[in-house]
Structure 1
Amino acid sequence: MKYLSIMIIVLFSFNDAGAQAKKLQKATFGMGCFWCTEALFQRLNGVVSVRSGYEGGQVANPTYEDVCSGTTGHAEVIEVTYDPLKIKYDELLEVFWKSHDPTTLNRQGADVGTQYRSVVFYHNDEQKQIAEKYKKELNDTKAFDKPVVTAITKAAPFYVAENYHQDYFNKNSSKPYCRLVILPKMEKLEKIFKAKLKH
């Protein structure tokens, strides 16, 4: 009986892990340099992991140099794995739209090129509908001085960026780019979305 009880516990543990894995969902956003984007979304409660990468181009397995050339069609993006029981897709969209300028075509600050475009890659029809409705509301209410130009596109093959791009801010927080560009975005996140952050 003792061994049978252990077996049942083990089976339930595996089932729980499988059920939890099925609950997790993915969201993919491009909003300029993925170093900045990754650092912001890592802080959100309910976000399990964030991977920097490339999506939306016509070349397989592009390198960072390929994408930076602006010739592959890829955008720098983050792939967010999140628990919808803890954070909803529209909440992720809120952080997305409030953390960059979605009115500039192929540009974020000093970063210029199609690889820096504002884009939502949706993974299912529900995400598409939520993103399109949200974008329409932003434009209808004139939330920004200019129209939102964010592209809402079906998810394409995602290529994980090189290892040195992953977890960039946490590993390089003392570098000038991190202090001058990413840190102010983190401070803004703290002010606007304090209730949504991990403690």
Structure 2
Amino acid sequence: MEKIGFGGGCHWCTEGVFQALRGVVHVDQGFIQSPAPWDAWAEGVILSFDPGIISLVTLAEVHLRTHSATGSYSPGGRYRSAIYVFEETQRAEAQRTIDRFAEESGEAARTLVLDVLGFRPSDARYQDYYRTDPNRPFCRRYIDPKLDYIRRHFADVALPDAAAREP
């Protein structure tokens, strides 16, 4: 198992996206801190994944395509487009994926590659946000379109039912 973190807007959305992928064993939703100048706590997820089933490159690609990777984020705010690494070997792979995405899209990606300094989980009532009630208006409006995108463009790693747990 490997661990990697992702931040990109609301962590409810980010959690739902990664829970919909084969090879992602567990997703912790909460707030991630990195070394200065990125030390403000920002919404994000830490996930454990099986690299034999899904690669870091695929995870990063899904992330870049399911949030506003080219949009503006406030560096001191609670939203940050980032890939949070636990191992130095992950840094180069994540940066190459971001660079390739920017080249293909023709837009500069604002996604940062940052070290994980700390993690605080969200309140228990927000954990598994999509899975506990996928019919919430927020889920329908913001998460469902991302899951539809995954099913269309990442079908080889998408779980058949995004709300179901992988056996």
Please tell me the residue identity of whatever aligns with 1:48: V
- 1:57 offset after TM fit, Å? 6.2
TM-score, scaled to structure 2: 0.86
Equivalent residue, structure 2, for 1:48: 25
Corresponding position: 1:162 with 2:123? yes
**Aligned ranges 1:51-130 → 2 under 5 Å:** 51-56=28-33, 73-106=40-73, 114-130=77-93
**Aligned ranges 1:25-40 → 2 under 5 Å:** 25-40=2-17
Q: What CA distance in whole angstroms lies between the structure 1 residues aligned with 2:107 and 2:58? A: 22
Equivalent residue, structure 1, for 2:141: 180
Q: What is the DSSP-based 3-state SS (H/G/I as helix, E as strand, rest coil) of the residue aligned with 1:147? A: coil
Asked if the contact 1:57/1:75 (under 8 Å) is kept, the reply is no
TM-score, scaled to structure 1: 0.73
Q: What CA distance in whole angstroms lies between the structure 1 residues aligned with 2:126 and 2:150? A: 21
**Percent identity, aligned pairs only?**
29
Please tell me the residue identity of whatever aligns with 1:170: R
Asked if the contact 1:29/1:96 (under 8 Å) is kept, the reply is yes
Corresponding position: 1:190 with 2:151? yes
Larger helix share, 1 or 2: 1
Q: What CA distance in whole angstroms lies between the structure 1 residues aligned with 2:141 and 2:99? A: 33
- From the CA coordinates, give the structure whose radius of gyration is larger: 1
Gaps of 5+ in 2: 161-167
Q: What CA distance in whole angstroms lies between the structure 2 residues aligned with 1:150 and 1:57? A: 14
Deviations 1:34-54 (A, max 9, x none): 111111111111110111010
Please tell me the residue identity of whatever aligns with 1:41: F
- 1:86 offset after TM fit, Å? 1.1
- 1:145 offset after TM fit, Å? 4.3
Please tell me the residue identity of whatever aligns with 2:85: Y
Q: What is the DSSP-based 3-state SS (H/G/I as helix, E as strand, rest coil) of the residue aligned with 1:85? A: coil
- 1:95 offset after TM fit, Å? 0.6
- 1:144 offset after TM fit, Å? 2.5
**Aligned ranges 1:18-29 → 2 under 5 Å:** 24-29=1-6
